[in-house]
Structure formats: C-alpha cells, structure tokens
C-alpha cells in the first residue's frame, strides 16, 4: 500500500510538471481537457488555473485565433473555470 501511495505522489508531481511546462497553447489546453475528462482536475486546480490565466492574458497567440477547434476549446475551458470571455 505504501508503494502505491509513493507512486501516486510521483505521478502527481509529473502531471504538475507537465501542466507548468512550456508548450504551445493548443497542446496545453488539450492536456488540461484530458486531465479534467479523466476526473483528475480537482487534484491540479491551482496549476490549471495558473495555466489558463496565462492563456487568457495572452491574446496575441496566433494559434488560438486561426483554428476553430482551438478557439472553441479555449472558450469552453476558460468559461468553465470562471473567466469572463466574450462570445
């Protein structure tokens, strides 16, 4: 049982590192979406909020403006986490 607890803590650290890691905005949004769909979003609320805040403040990102999928994913995740974003 202690072995599994240590492994779970190691995996949590790894996921936190992946959320905080530099990557393009679309990949980060997809990663956050996958973590939430797995039902693990509550474990990483602070990291997700920080990542989404940086994406919200970066309005110049061309990847998020040219792709309908990226725009819709950004819109949904930001609205879901309480960010005020216009329609």
Give the pLDDT of the chain (87 residues) as one tens digit per residue. 789 999 989 999 999 988 888 888 889 999 999 999 999 889 899 999 999 999 888 877 666 777 889 889 999 999 999 988 877
pLDDT at position 62: 64
Confidence at residue 67, expressed as pLDDT on a 0 to 100 scale: 83
Give me the pLDDT at residue 63, please. 67
Are 27 and 67 in contact by the 8 Å Cβ rule? The answer is no
Under DSSP, the state recorded for 42 is: G
Composition of the chain by helix, strand, coil, percent to 5: 75, 0, 25
């Amino acid at each position: 049982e202690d072995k599994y607890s240590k492994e779970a803590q190691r995996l949590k650290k790894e996921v936190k590192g992946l959320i905080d890691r530099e990557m393009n905005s679309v990949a980060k949004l997809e990663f956050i979406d996958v973590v939430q769909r797995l039902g693990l979003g509550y474990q990483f609320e602070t990291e997700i909020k920080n990542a989404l805040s940086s994406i919200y403040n970066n309005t110049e990102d061309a990847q998020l403006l040219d792709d309908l999928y990226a725009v819709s994913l950004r819109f949904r995740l930001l609205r879901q986490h309480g960010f005020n974003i216009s329609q």
